[in-house]
Structure 1
Amino acid sequence: FQFTGYLALSSILFYGSNLISQGLLTYGELSSFCLYAVLSAGSLSAMSGFYLELMKGLGASSRLFELKDRLPRIPLEGGIKKGNVEKAIRFEHVAFGYEDRDPLFHNISFDVPAGKITAVVGSSGSGKSTIASLLLRLYDPTNGRILVDDVDLKDLDPSYWRHHIGTVGQEPVLFSTTIKNNIVYGSNEPEKVTEADIVSAAEKSNADEFIMQFPDKYDTNVGEHGSTLSGGQKQRIAIARALVNKPNILIMDEATSALDASSEYLVRIALNKLLENSHQTVMIIAHRLSTIKHADQIVVVDKGSVAEKGSYEELIAIPDGIFRKLVEKQTFGFKNEESY
């Protein structure tokens, strides 16, 4: 393409020079013609590039408009504005399965008493985190129902319900900003969060100790995805973010998995004190024995249903029970483990 353009320009100059030598053309006319030709050729090239960029933009925006016009299966607003639990949250014969997969649950039935700590345990892939997603109503059960004080969860306002739930996931998500801003993000009304609220939430999650050791303290930038912090520090900031809103319901999905034993103990003591004062309803999804040992109720999920349910003492006393086997494997290890 460039070779053709330069060849055409050279031909014009060569032919124009002959015309000038014959007196049929002036230097100004030849210069004007060459200038107009170059501008016109450049404009045509720019128009072709603009057309390509326009097609790229239309292709990308079509997907955005498709998502914008898509109606969610679960509405964001509308329904009964209920954000607390006075009696219990009840799972009644809940069945659920992700699209293009085998059903994950076929009969999940248990109660989450108000103001108590309920631990959900089970093997990996048994659907423990999915139970938390169903409680947040990120998905709807295919069968059965979830009741909050005898009110179907589908009848509640989803946004209002979620605003009163504090959630700490397995992998904490931090933003590239200060520790203070990362904690404030957990509030529904950030402008009303005071410094005392931030410090209180950090103390409850045992994060205030290491934050105060930083030169900038709460104004310390955590880096991209919290790259400047350790896994335990990120987890404790995520717990503080969940507590700053003073939620009525607290869901902790392997929230203490990245903490050492002493930090986990302090976090658990702080949560127990918090529960005594505010009567929060807590659901803990965990594997570690130290986390679930002091729960008021333990629910064991196995093969798509609730296999066992009760306190730690009741479940550990069941001979050949699923929970007892999980505890024995964690405490004593595998009996047939080979030594190298």
Structure 2
Amino acid sequence: MNLDPFAEKSDAELYAVLRKVHLSETVSAWGQGLDYEVAEKGENLSVGQRQLLCIARALIRDSKVIVMDEATANVDQESDKLIQQTMKESFGGGDCTVLCIAHRIETIMDSDKILVLDGGEVVEYDTPSALLQLKDGIFQSLVESRRRVGEIR
């Protein structure tokens, strides 16, 4: 499974992380436990499982900076919720910096700060609540358009 390629953590620690990312039952069901062989590019895993496995690896390494580039793109709604929940539970305590690149507004609404780019230029940067107060702001406009079509509340 290649969670800990340098064998620095015990199996108990690895399973604790798998529980934290909601993969322990899945790994147990595979029958080979931590010895399960992940195919090249993770082709024998769902997109959601691959994302959760990447989060597990970041937790095992105790990473201080996490970059999530479209972490919930191409996943079903259930996997999206699980990834969001795992991100909040795992990295929401302020022990690390999470740079989240997202196309779904709801993915970033709980962020400490949001940076809005337009044409490669920074046009807005503040807390979500402050950006929502900007009359004619790009972020505020995106959120309102999503609310009108019922994508977010």
- The TM-score bracket by the shorter chain reads 0.7 to 0.9
Aligned length: 149
- Change in Cα spacing, 1:209 to 1:329, as seen in structure 2 (3 Å) is farther
How far the C-alpha of 1:305 sits from its partner, in A, is 1.9
Q: Distance in 1 between the 2:59 and 2:15 partners?
A: 11
- Change in Cα spacing, 1:277 to 1:200, as seen in structure 2 (3 Å) is farther
TM-score for the superposition, normalised by structure 2:
0.79
Q: Distance in 2 between the 1:197 and 1:247 partners?
A: 16
TM-score for the superposition, normalised by structure 1:
0.39
| Structure 1, unaligned runs of 5 or more | 1-178, 334-340
Contact 2:48–2:83 (8 Å) recurs in 1 = no
Contact 2:48–2:80 (8 Å) recurs in 1 = no
Cα deviation code 1:154-177 (max 9, x no counterpart): xxxxxxxxxxxxxxxxxxxxxxxx
Give the secondary structure class of the aligned counterpart of 1:271: helix
Letter in 2 for 1:194: S
Q: Which has the larger radius of gyration?
A: 1
> Which has the higher relative contact order, 1 or 2, with Cα contacts under 8 A spaced 6 or more apart?
1
- The reply to whether residue 294 of structure 1 matches residue 110 of structure 2 is yes
- The reply to whether residue 216 of structure 1 matches residue 36 of structure 2 is no
How far the C-alpha of 1:330 sits from its partner, in A, is 4.1
- The reply to whether residue 270 of structure 1 matches residue 51 of structure 2 is no
Contact 1:315–1:323 (8 Å) recurs in 2 = yes
Letter in 2 for 1:223: A
> What is the CA RMSD across the aligned residues, in angstroms?
2.4
Paired residue for 1:240, among 56, 76, 94? 56
How far the C-alpha of 1:276 sits from its partner, in A, is 5.5
- Change in Cα spacing, 1:305 to 1:279, as seen in structure 2 (3 Å) is same
| Structure 2, unaligned runs of 5 or more | none
Residue matched to 2:45 = 229
Q: Distance in 2 between the 1:330 and 1:248 partners?
A: 32
How far the C-alpha of 1:324 sits from its partner, in A, is 2.5
- Runs (4+) of structure 1 exceeding 6 A deviation are none
- The reply to whether residue 194 of structure 1 matches residue 1 of structure 2 is no
